Amino acid sequence: MNCLIVAAGQGARLREKFELKPLIPLRGVPLIRHVMDRARKAGVDRFTVVSGYRGDELRRHLDDAASHDGTPVTHVVNDEWDRANGVSVLKAEPFLDGPFLLTMCDHVVDPDIFRRLMALRPPPDGVVLAVDFNLDNPLNDPEDVTRVKTENNRIARIGKLLPEFDCYDTGVFLCAPVMFDALRESQAGGDDSISGAMNVLSRWNKAHILDIGDRLWIDVDDAPALAKAEELLGSGRL
């Protein structure tokens, strides 16, 4: 299984901590390495990483790490890194064959979330998003998290400003190649985000969900979240 990691943005809210967000130390290990280690524990054997802002530094780091742990990393360069994250995913299309996992460079999750997505057989003709129905979870900022409204085990709508929602987007997906068709249609309509593509897939009845139950995850997007992630990892809860 190939795992696509989006790591092209500049991470403005954590710039005071470190210049390059994917390499922010989290208990002495760069943030993106925590993401990769958890995917690897679930059985991922290949990574494709989209870099952009200060990408040379990130690519050098990942190449050095790959030479030690033996897990191949394919690099995709996004020179339009200032656009939304769906642009990064679409640029990876030529490098991916068949179903793939998709995650963000700053989402640290229980490896079982990856494992359960990979176990779906046959892989769906569409995209499965791992969602969290625990709306009282104190780990993530309710004002920043992406909201999801579901109907009949499918995504009805997704977005940060949804007035009605019943779960949160964990940022971990299992994608069929139709994801790229949805990204093209969304971007043609002016929405460059992954969420925009998921709303297109919803209209096509190809946007599915996986309930993560009580499994933990955190979006390390600002200083308070970084502190929470440090505590979670230190206590062994994540």
Q: What is the CATH number of the domain that holds 220?
A: 3.90.550.10
* 152 burial level (CB within 10 Å; 0-12, 13-18, 19+): exposed
Residue 196's pLDDT is what? 98
pLDDT above 70 (res 181): yes
pLDDT above 90 (res 13): no
Q: What is the rounded average pLDDT for all residues in the chain?
A: 94
Show the tokens assigned to 197.
């593509």
Pairing mode, strands 217-219 and 154-159: unpaired
- What is the C-alpha to C-alpha distance for residues 37 and 32, in angstroms, rounded to an integer? 9
Tens of pLDDT, residues 225-237: 999 999 999 999 9
| Domain interval for residue 20 | 2-235
Report how many domains make up the chain. 1
pLDDT above 90 (res 79): yes
pLDDT above 70 (res 201): yes
Residue 158's pLDDT is what? 98
Show the tokens assigned to 33.
């390495």
What is the pLDDT confidence band of residue 143, given thresholds at 50, 70 and 90? confident
pLDDT above 70 (res 77): yes
Tens of pLDDT, residues 206-216: 999 999 999 99
pLDDT above 70 (res 17): no
pLDDT above 90 (res 195): yes
- What is the C-alpha to C-alpha distance for residues 149 and 172, in angstroms, rounded to an integer? 16
pLDDT above 90 (res 172): yes
Show the DSSP H helices in 50-110 as ranges. 55-69, 85-91
Residue 15's pLDDT is what? 66
What is the pLDDT confidence band of residue 167, given thresholds at 50, 70 and 90? very high
Rounded to a whole number of angstroms, the CA Rg of the chain reads: 16
What is the pLDDT confidence band of residue 21, given thresholds at 50, 70 and 90? very high
Q: CB under 8 Å to 205, separation ≥6 — which residues? A: 126, 154
Residue 194's pLDDT is what? 98
